[in-house]
């Protein structure tokens, strides 16, 4: 199973906007994670879109490699958004792999 697509969604929850990371695998499965942050949702969404390019083709079961690769290759331009980006991606990977393991 490999990550085939990433979608970023902004969802209103009361007065706040939550930024969700949705990972789609090549087998049709998907996983969702929240990139919780006090940052501006639009900026966080853009950072997640950028980071998503480093996820394509990766195995969601290998979260550590994904996060290390992201930190090394894509993290330099994300600045203070990197922790929120990594948390959202990790949560989506956990959701995706958990569903696969039932």
What is the CA angle 11-12-17, rounded to 5? 85
DSSP 41-68: HHHHHHHHHHHHTTTTT--TT-HHHHHH
Cα 28 to Cα 69: distance, rounded to the nearest angstrom: 24
For the chain, give the percent of residues with pLDDT over 70: 95
Secondary structure element (H or E) that encloses residue 100, with its range: helix 82-101
What is the reported pTM? Answer: 0.89
pLDDT of residue 75: 62
pLDDT at 92 exceeding the cut of 70: yes
Helices (H) and strands (E) in the chain, counts: 3, 3
pLDDT at 77 exceeding the cut of 80: no
What pLDDT, in 10s, does the model give residues 28-48? 999 999 998 777 889 899 989
């Amino acid at each position: 199973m490999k990550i085939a697509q990433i979608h970023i969604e902004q969802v209103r929850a009361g007065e706040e906007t939550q930024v969700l990371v949705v990972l789609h695998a090549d087998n049709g499965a998907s996983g969702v994670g929240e990139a919780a942050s006090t940052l501006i949702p639009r900026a966080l969404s853009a950072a997640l879109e950028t980071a998503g390019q480093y996820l394509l083709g990766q195995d969601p079961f290998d979260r550590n490699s994904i996060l290390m690769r992201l930190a090394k290759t894509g993290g330099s331009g994300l600045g203070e958004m990197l922790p929120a980006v990594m948390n959202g991606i990790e949560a989506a990977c956990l959701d995706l792999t958990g569903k696969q393991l039932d």
